[in-house]
């Protein structure tokens, strides 16, 4: 992995942690549906500026499949955010709810990578998968 790739991954981890913290902080102060709507409206600004900048500096790539899969991403993240608002509004701790949901999602995404995209499976991967499953279990029973 390149240094840029690692840096992007670390920044993404920080951003998702801040998103979870923000969701937890607002969960008891706003209806989950309204919190999700505000999230959705707010998320338009940064990609809009980025898209305008990209268009002005070289053009945009667009395909039908790209548009459809991007719509799927938006639907999934909107539902995910709503579910996180609901989860935290039920009194679930950030230190329990977020790791369980995230680690479970990682395990499921990894499984999809193997099944759908035929990504390679090796011993190191299996050990990591088992450790992630154990981690979910340990966080859930604490």
Query: CB neighbours of 40 closer than 8 A, spacing ≥ 6?
Result: 78, 81
Q: What is the pTM of this model?
A: 0.81
Residues 6+ apart with CB under 8 A from 136: 99, 100, 103, 104, 107
Neighbours of 62 (CB within 10 A): 8
Tokens of residue 136, six digits: 């979910």
As a dihedral over the C-alpha atoms of residue 117, residue 13, residue 22, residue 88, rounded to 10 degrees, the angle is 50
Instruction: Summarize pLDDT for 60-118 with one digit per residue, the tens.
Output: 999 999 999 999 999 999 999 999 999 999 999 999 899 889 888 888 898 899 999 99
């Amino acid at each position: 992995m390149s240094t840029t790739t690692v840096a992007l991954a670390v920044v993404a981890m920080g951003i998702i942690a801040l998103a979870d913290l923000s969701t937890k902080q607002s969960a008891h102060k706003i209806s989950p549906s309204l919190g999700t709507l505000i999230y959705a409206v707010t998320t338009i600004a940064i990609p809009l500026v980025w898209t305008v900048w990209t268009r002005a500096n070289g053009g945009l790539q667009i395909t039908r499949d790209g548009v459809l899969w991007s719509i799927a991403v938006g639907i999934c993240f909107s539902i995910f955010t709503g579910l996180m608002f609901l989860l935290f509004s039920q009194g679930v701790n950030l230190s329990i709810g977020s790791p369980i949901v995230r680690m479970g999602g990682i395990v499921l995404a990894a499984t999809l990578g193997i099944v759908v995209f035929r990504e390679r499976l090796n011993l190191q991967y299996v050990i990591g998968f088992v450790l992630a499953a154990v981690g979910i279990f340990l966080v859930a029973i604490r």
